[in-house]
């Protein structure tokens, strides 16, 4: 036996392998398989749910489906408020390489783009412990894209929505605004926040390695977009009213002013403007003066604009007729020690003349013939001391004390508008009594097409008679002649109320009012104007507020397509030539 290799002779190999070894190996391998089988059974059957869930967590994502906030439209469907995408810039401070000169230059550029000082930007990036810092929210979308394009590490963009208000400050008080979280804060945005705000939906999806959505899992809850609100406001009327008011407030160096335009047929608010105002999308450094919606939230003593109600009541109850003569001389009247006076001694005036000349003495003499209860009932029915049902935030009710507490002098002063208070809006609405056949009609800020149902306060005959007096008051010999406007007959009552300062009346602070309607025979609109503290020499309602009334009436009726009811001397130069077809 020749062997070339000698190792077989090794005594180690010569020893016999025991059989149990191979059996052991086979056993172990079998055991391994059993183990695997058991594990497989466990994963697939017993712990299936757990593993499925774990797997899902790693690639399934819940996506939020954002809902659009509804738009606010004017009565003609023009946009007053709408949401547009905005870019909000945020950062992870730790990831921003402050020391790199290239990055520093980019940060400088970034600060310039965002219009914020570099120091502020660096301040926000200084805190490296934070993992999320807002740099600036709600920037223009295009600007945001530009910033992303710069590619600074650690600076990111998140898409948000912001509100745009095309009408700006003219409609600011009506429309209001939202905060950065898209919640209404003021005006209609607040009043109808629930309707405007949509409900975001969500869905679960499976994403692949590249972040692409490859499959949907479970049910989708679709987003519900907010509803559009259509207001009764006409943005053109609103703009003109605001413009005229602003010009007048500035010209008379007044503290502020308001104007309300009501549709006398439907009770819709066509315009409601206040000055000073603000730009709803630039709200830094706002003062309360600017924010306040004076027409709805401030109450004042209406002064002479109240007189028509006293007179109407006397007419309605048959105590006087329009031609009844009242002796107002000597222009003063003393009731329980207090003296009521007129600016002139008007002598004997007819009831019409009392309104035309705005005689306090005449009104008082008529009022003293009536029980306090009747006056209180009439004033209440006309909406004084009652909150207008507008659904608008901050609407006030004004003050009208119960008649049982009225002293005679108070009944006298209330008859010409002192001792009770009302907002300009209440005043405008109360005049629907005269404009709408003796009925008070509900006012609304939302566009309505249904005919209104009014509550009768006076008979149509009384309303007609008072309208005639209002026309006289705004005509020759009246206190509100500046209310006249080209082509349309107007009627209205001016008022000049001393402002109450503390417990007494200030001698040099006034509020000028004018409330009226046009065209006077069939009123289509009611316009109320209030100018607060005119301090440029003149302060009478007929001089300060009436011109605003005149211009607003002119523009509004023309825009509504109401044909002039008065003859106008035409100034048309060119001949109208029929065009050949």
**Piece of 174-182, 427-435, 504-512, 569-577 that binds other proteins (CB under 8 A):** 569-577
Longest dimension (CA), the chain: 163
Q: Assign 287 to helix, strand or coil.
A: coil
- The string of DSSP codes covering 175-218 is H--B-TTS-B-SHHHHHTHHHHS-B-EEEEEEE-TTS-EEEEEE
Beta bridge partners of 164: 82
Query: Binding residues for other proteins, how many (CB under 8 A)?
Result: 43
Provide the token pair at 237: 């009327």
Considering the rule CB under 8 A, would residue 216 count as an interface residue with other proteins? yes
Instruction: Out of 17, 323, 336, 571, name the contact with other proteins by CB under 8 A.
Output: 571
What CA dihedral angle connects 551, 553, 559 and 561, to 10 degrees?
-140
Site for other proteins in 33-92 (CB under 8 A): 68, 78-79, 82-85
Instruction: Out of 215, 455, 508, 538, name the contact with other proteins by CB under 8 A.
Output: 215
Residues 6 or more apart from 34 whose CB is under 8 A from it? none
Considering the rule CB under 8 A, would residue 164 count as an interface residue with other proteins? yes
Beta bridge partners of 300: 422
Main-chain phi, psi angles of 14, to 5 degrees: -70, -25
Cα dihedral sign, 270-274-279-284:
negative
CB nearer to other proteins: pick between 133 and 279: 279
CB nearer to other proteins: pick between 133 and 220: 220
H or E segment at 514? strand 504-518
Instruction: Out of 563, 577, 579, 580, name the contact with other proteins by CB under 8 A.
Output: 563
Considering the rule CB under 8 A, would residue 558 count as an interface residue with other proteins? yes
Site for other proteins in 394-413 (CB under 8 A): none
Considering the rule CB under 8 A, would residue 170 count as an interface residue with other proteins? yes
**Piece of 181-189, 234-242, 315-323, 532-540 that binds other proteins (CB under 8 A):** 234-242
> Whose CA is closest to 327, among 303, 356, 305, 359?
359
> Whose CA is closest to 184, among 289, 84, 280?
280
Instruction: Out of 60, 103, 168, 319, name the contact with other proteins by CB under 8 A.
Output: 168
Considering the rule CB under 8 A, would residue 569 count as an interface residue with other proteins? yes
Considering the rule CB under 8 A, would residue 156 count as an interface residue with other proteins? no
**Piece of 34-42, 127-135, 540-548, 561-569 that binds other proteins (CB under 8 A):** 561-569
Beta carbon of residue 236, minimum distance to other proteins (angstroms, whole number): 5
What CA dihedral angle connects 243, 398, 80 and 139, to 10 degrees?
100
Contact 443, 388 (CB under 8 A): yes
- The string of DSSP codes covering 122-165 is HHHHH-TT-S-EEEEEEEEHHHHHHHHHH--TTEEEEEEEEEE-
Site for other proteins in 81-100 (CB under 8 A): 82-85
Binding mask 304-343 for other proteins (x = CB under 8 A): ----------------------------------------
* Catalytic annotation present for 304: yes
CB nearer to other proteins: pick between 34 and 213: 213
Give the whole-angstrom CA distance, residue 537 versus residue 512: 13
The 10 Å Cβ neighbour count of residue 155 is 23
> Whose CA is closest to 295, among 511, 454, 509, 535?
511
Site for other proteins in 246-305 (CB under 8 A): none
Give the whole-angstrom CA distance, residue 558 versus residue 554: 6
Give the whole-angstrom CA distance, residue 357 versus residue 213: 79
Considering the rule CB under 8 A, would residue 213 count as an interface residue with other proteins? yes
Give the whole-angstrom CA distance, residue 288 versus residue 189: 18
Considering the rule CB under 8 A, would residue 188 count as an interface residue with other proteins? no
Instruction: Out of 113, 205, 279, 396, name the contact with other proteins by CB under 8 A.
Output: 205
Binding mask 506-545 for other proteins (x = CB under 8 A): ----------------x-----------------------
Site for other proteins in 473-492 (CB under 8 A): 486-488
Considering the rule CB under 8 A, would residue 454 count as an interface residue with other proteins? no
**Piece of 8-16, 396-404, 539-547, 568-576 that binds other proteins (CB under 8 A):** 568-576
Beta carbon of residue 78, minimum distance to other proteins (angstroms, whole number): 6
Main-chain phi, psi angles of 34, to 5 degrees: -60, -45
CB nearer to other proteins: pick between 18 and 561: 561
CB nearer to other proteins: pick between 82 and 500: 82
CB nearer to other proteins: pick between 121 and 261: 261
Instruction: Out of 141, 146, 156, 190, name the contact with other proteins by CB under 8 A.
Output: 141
**Piece of 149-157, 205-213, 316-324, 428-436 that binds other proteins (CB under 8 A):** 205-213
The 10 Å Cβ neighbour count of residue 408 is 13
Among the listed residues 83, 277, 304, 423, the single catalytic one is 304
Instruction: Out of 236, 319, 468, 509, name the contact with other proteins by CB under 8 A.
Output: 236
Q: Is 115 left (phi over 0), alpha (psi -120 to 50) or beta?
A: left
Long-range contacts of the stretch 334-339 (C-beta < 8 A, 24+): 335/364, 335/368, 335/408, 335/409, 335/412, 336/407, 336/408, 336/409, 337/409, 338/409
Which residues are catalytically annotated? 304
- In the complex, which residues of this chain contact other proteins (CB under 8 A)? 68, 78-79, 82-85, 141, 164, 166-168, 170, 205, 208, 212-216, 235-236, 239-240, 243, 486-488, 522, 554-555, 558, 560-564, 568-572, 576
């Amino acid at each position: 036996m020749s062997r070339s290799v000698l190792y077989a002779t090794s005594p180690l190999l010569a020893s016999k392998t025991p059989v149990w070894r191979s059996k052991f190996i086979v056993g172990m391998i079998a055991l391994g398989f059993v183990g695997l089988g058991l594990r497989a059974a466990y994963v697939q059957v017993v712990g299936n749910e757990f593993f499925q869930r774990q797997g899902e967590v790693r690639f399934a994502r819940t996506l939020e489906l954002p809902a659009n906030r509804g738009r606010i439209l004017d009565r003609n469907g023009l946009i007053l408020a709408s949401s547009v995408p905005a870019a909000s810039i945020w950062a992870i401070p730790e990831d921003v390489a402050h020391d790199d000169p290239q990055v520093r230059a980019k940060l400088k550029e970034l600060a310039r783009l965002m219009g914020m000082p570099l120091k502020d930007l660096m301040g926000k990036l200084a805190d490296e412990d934070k993992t999320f810092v807002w740099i600036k929210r709600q920037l223009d979308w295009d600007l945001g894209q530009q910033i992303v394009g710069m590619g600074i590490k650690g600076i990111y963009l998140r898409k948000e929505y912001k509100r745009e208000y095309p009408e700006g400050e003219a409609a600011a008080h009506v429309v209001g605004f939202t905060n950065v979280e898209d919640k209404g804060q003021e005006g209609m945005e607040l009043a109808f926040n629930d309707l405007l705000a949509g409900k975001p939906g969500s869905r679960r999806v499976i994403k692949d390695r590249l972040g692409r959505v490859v499959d949907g899992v479970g049910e989708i809850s679709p987003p519900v977009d907010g509803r559009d609100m259509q207001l009764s406001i006409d943005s053109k009327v609103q703009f003109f009213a605001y413009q005229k008011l602003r010009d007048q407030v500035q010209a008379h160096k007044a503290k502020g002013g308001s104007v309300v335009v009501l549709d006398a047929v439907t009770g819709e608010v066509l315009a409601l403007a206040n000055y000073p105002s603000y730009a709803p999308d630039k709200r830094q450094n706002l003062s309360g003066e600017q924010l306040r919606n004076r027409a709805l939230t401030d109450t004042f003593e209406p002064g002479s604009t109240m007189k028509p109600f006293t007179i109407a009541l006397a007419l309605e109850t048959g105590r006087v007729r329009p031609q009844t003569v009242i002796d107002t001389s000597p222009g003063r009247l003393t009731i329980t020690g207090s003296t009521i006076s007129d600016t002139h001694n008007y002598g004997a005036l007819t009831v019409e003349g009392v309104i035309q000349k705005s005689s306090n003495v005449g009104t008082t003499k008529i009022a003293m013939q009536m029980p306090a209860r009747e006056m209180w009932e009439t004033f209440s029915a006309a909406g004084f001391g009652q909150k207008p049902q507008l659904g608008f935030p901050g609407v006030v009710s004004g003050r009208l004390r119960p008649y049982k507490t009225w002293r005679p002098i108070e009944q006298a002063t209330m008859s010409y508008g002192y001792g009770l208070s009302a907002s300009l809006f209440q005043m405008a609405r109360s005049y629907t009594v005269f404009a709408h056949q003796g009925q008070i009609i509900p006012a609304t800020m939302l566009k309505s097409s249904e005919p209104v149902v009014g509550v009768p306060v006076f008979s149509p005959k009384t309303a007609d008679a008072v309208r005639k007096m209002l026309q006289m008051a705004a005509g020759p010999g009246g206190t509100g002649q500046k209310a006249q406007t080209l082509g349309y007959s107007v009627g209205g009552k001016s008022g000049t109320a001393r402002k109450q300062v503390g417990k007494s009346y200030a001698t040099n602070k006034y509020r000028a009012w004018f409330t009226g309607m046009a065209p006077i025979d069939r009123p289509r609109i009611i316009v109320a104007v209030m100018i607060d503290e005119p301090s440029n020499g003149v302060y009478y309602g007929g001089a300060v507020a009436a011109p605003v009334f005149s211009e607003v009436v002119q523009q509004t009726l023309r825009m509504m397509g109401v044909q002039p009811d008065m003859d106008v001397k035409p100034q048309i130069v060119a001949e109208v030539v029929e065009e050949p077809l």
